[in-house]
A and B are shown apart, each in its own frame.
Chain A
Amino acid sequence: MELRPSFQIPALIKSLTDVVLPAVDPANKLALEQGQLVVGMLHLMAQRLPLQYRYDRHELVSYVALSDQLLTQAATITEAAAARQALTEAAADARALLARAGAEPAEIEAANSLLRERVGALITAAATTADAAALRSINTTVMTHAEAQLLRERAWVALQGWEGPAAALPAVETLIAR
């Protein structure tokens, strides 16, 4: 899926900077100021988006550590028994979540990209075979995969309106549910 923020945000910044803001009436100070702030906010998003997941995971590690320390220190405070119990449960959930939070989004994107490339190379290389049965089998597999893949991608960009409501695309959330 190409339409992701790392691709979209720089295009938004360039359009605003090169075309839109220079055309704003200089007398409209409110519009100028807000336009410049939009550009500034987009720059901040572009810079921080690749770190967002790592930041949140780091914060969670830090809060789990803080929770552990506080639970130890408040172990004998009877007035905090209910709060201690609630925090114990939340910290356990967070620890379990951290155990699943392994690879970074950029690593997953890179792995997808590499697999796409190698799959493509295999398809091209296999196309020259004289083994008709193997070729038919490969064709069927690729076509089946394409159907599900394209349904996800079409659903991802449905808001753009390329296909209209008649396409009745499912919500992408339902297609990528575990």
Chain B
Amino acid sequence: MAAVLDKNRPSPEWIAELRRRFPCEAEIDRVLTRKLERRAGPPYAPVSLAQLQAGTEALLKTQLATPFTVRDCRWLSGGASKLQMAFTLDWTPPGAGAVSTPLVLRMEPSEAITETSRLREFQIIKALEGVVPVPPTYWIDARGEYLPYPAIVYGFAEGVTKPSASSSGVSGVGTFMPPQVRETLGQQFVDHLAATHRFDWQRADLSAYDRPAPGTQALEWALNHWERVWEEDANEDVPLMRLTMAWLRRNMPPVDHVSVIHGDYRLGNFLYTEDDLQISAWLDWELAYLGDRHEDLSWCAKRPFGHLAEDGKTFLIGGFLPMADFVARYEQASGLKVDPLRMRYYDIFNNYKAVAIVLATGYRAPRNGKTHQDVLVAWITGIAYSLLDELRSQMAEVL
């Protein structure tokens, strides 16, 4: 029987072929290529808080001219992708007096369920300071020179991802938002999305982002990105995924307004303070890119990221608003139209992307012992089949 390609030990020829077949943004190409080049290497080795503290101190020594202390290091939970350590920094910022600042170190494992660039994440959060609530960014170890793997340091934001009394599944999926929080938080949920999509990125320092030409280039890059991820990481091929990608490529809608796309805008990826119901920070910008707003609009409307209202029939986006209300408020806040045809396109695009993440990378990374929580990533793989079935229903409508 003919041998199937060994993706656990990628050859230089195969990597080169993938790069040629799926041209995407330069920084995304860099991190995906690095992932493949490192794949045959050792699995992720547990990192202690002491190691992270020492690495953080080494990074800060290159950035701070005055004495400082890193203390009270502790793990933060949440998310399926990156390691996070909270700590307090006693230091003297330039031009200011001595202060104690609560901070977060966010570091990659050896391979993550989403392989992304810390430089892109750092730049986009910094660019959006003052536009939407984001944690203040401080420092970056873009290539893992001081820490075991690439990492960023940003401010610790107060707040919760879900009501303290609420339960939820992995990564915030299945959270119930009670009626008394929906109006206040729901309006901010819409306003922040609108502000992100209206943000003038042309003048921002986003050197790690390629700037797409008008038309379909942004979408072509995105399709190449996710098809490349599928090719690199999938164990078993899935005919429906092939059919879907062919349809996506045949039906690319031009982008009418290139926006900053969060890439994972949803319940579970923002913090809010429970006493005044104010969103204090939008998190997890690692999938951000310049593209079509309908990706975020469709993504946040996915069923796992919301729930039914008390009538048992009306689906609430993010647990906040029915679709019609959500769209009306978004158009009002952004001045941008929501096109139902493009929503349908990005519904399909988003399911392809979600399956690539959970079924392809969600298999490959723990298969090689590459993450700090292989058992969680392996568990998440199981959601792929309901996502694929939803994709099948969507494809049945368009074929």
Contacts and interface: CB of A to CB of B under 8 A. Distances in A.
Chains A and B are bound partners? yes
A86 to B, nearest CB: 41
A117 B359 CA distance: 15
Given A2-B381, A12-B375, A163-B386, A7 B367 contact: yes
Given A120-B239, A123-B239, A145-B239, A7 B363 contact: yes
Given A18-B46, A160-B382, A146 B369 contact: no
Contacts of B239: 116, 119-120, 123, 142, 145-146
A112 B236 contact: yes
B373 A116 contact: no
Task: Determine the main DSSP class of A at the interface with B.
Answer: helix
B393 to A, nearest CB: 9
Contact of B373 (A19, A107, A114): A19
Contact of A157 (B235, B241, B382, B395): B382
Interface residues of A, number: 44
Contacts of A96: none
A157 B242 contact: no
B2 A114 contact: yes
A16 to B, nearest CB: 8
Interface stretch (B97-105, B175-183, B243-251, B325-333): B243-251
Contacts, number: 122
B138 interface: no
B237 interface: yes
Contacts of B388: 146, 150, 153
A150 B399 contact: no
B249 to A, nearest CB: 8
Interface in B374-399: 374-379, 381-386, 388-389, 392, 395-396, 399
A143 B242 contact: no
B4 interface: yes
Contact of A11 (B242, B374, B386): B374
Contacts of A136: 399
Contacts of B372: 18-19
Interface string A100-135: 000000010011111011011001100100000000
Given A15-B373, A150-B385, 4 more contacts: A123-B243, A123-B246, A151-B389, A162-B386
24 contacts: A3-B378, A3-B381, A14-B43, A15-B373, A15-B374, A15-B375, A18-B46, A19-B372, A22-B46, A110-B4, A113-B235, A113-B237, A117-B4, A119-B237, A123-B239, A123-B243, A124-B242, A136-B399, A142-B239, A142-B242, A142-B243, A146-B239, A150-B389, A154-B389
Question: Closest 6 A-B residue pairs measured CB to CB?
Answer: A127-B246, A15-B375, A157-B382, A120-B237, A11-B374, A153-B385
